[in-house]
Structure 1
Amino acid sequence: MQDKFGGFDKLDKALSGKDSVKNLRWLLTLLLNEGAEDGDEELTEKQVGKLIHTGNFNEVKSSIFKAFSLGNNGTEEPPARDDEEDDGEDDEIRKNAAAGKE
């Protein structure tokens, strides 16, 4: 993920730009294959792409943000940042995490 997007802090931009669907499909494929049991057949991006559509795009995206937040912070809520570092991205991540709770 770091090689492709430049790090976790760039994830929001990667999943909201013009290549957002392509990037989400790639990332979800990577995550699903990483979490698969040993011996399970790996999914292709084409197979995963058939699971993502406009009706669930935001839910899939929000779930990925929550999973990363839970893995990094032990909670689905992103950590608070200092005001001087706040560039608006934190608000978007919070909105995405909150949207998944609804």
Structure 2
Amino acid sequence: MSAIKDGRYPIEIGGQERHLLFSLNALDEIQDKFGGYDKLAEVFNQDNKDWIKNTKWLLALLINEGAEENEPEVTEKQVGRWIHTGNIIEVQSAILKAFAVGTNGDNEPTVDTPGENESEVDTGNVESGQVF
């Protein structure tokens, strides 16, 4: 019998390593807020007037789901301090990679990431899970 993977995806953000987790709780909340996890690409579309707010909400949710039991929860306001225009695309890419790990056990995202002007995203350091 093989060990069950915990599905968490490590990232470096806010000055420390944290983990993103697409748990069933997170998927349920995403479904309630966006209508389904299949809407993630639309959430990150810069034509969506709430894309920044949605990115903060989603990152806070996933960090809190991936946190250890004794870790304090992070707020959207804290997450908003960690994300800026220089790393928001990397953050979104990390979220999609976490989705792939949490749902497929893969290391590659299964959803296309819209970038600026709908071009491909430069993932930079996201391959290592680092977001500055």
**Band the TM-score falls in, shorter-chain normalisation:** 0.7 to 0.9
Counterparts of residues 23-102 of structure 1 (less than 5 Å)? 23-78=54-109, 92-93=112-113, 95-96=120-121, 99=123, 100-101=126-127
Identity %: 53
* Structure 2: stretches of 5+ with no match in the other structure: 1-29, 115-119, 128-132
**Structure with more contact order per residue of length (Cα contacts < 8 Å, sep ≥ 6):** 2
CA distance in 1 between counterparts of 2:65 and 2:109 reads 23
Partner SS, residue 41 of structure 1 = coil
CA gap 1:38/1:10 in 2 versus in 1, 3 angstroms? same
Q: Normalized per residue, which structure has more helix?
A: 1
RMSD: 2.3
Q: TM-score, normalised by structure 1?
A: 0.75
Greater share of strand? 2
* Distance across 2 between alignment mates of 1:55 and 1:40: 27
- Paired position in structure 1 for 2:41: 12
Tell me the CA shift for residue 41 of structure 1.
Answer: 1.5
Q: Give the number of aligned pairs.
A: 90
Quick one: distance in 1 between partners of 2:33 and 2:69?
25
Structure 1 residue 38: deviation in Å? 1.2
Question: For structure 1, which segment, 67-76 or 17-26, has the greater mean C-alpha deviation from structure 2 after superposition?
Answer: 67-76
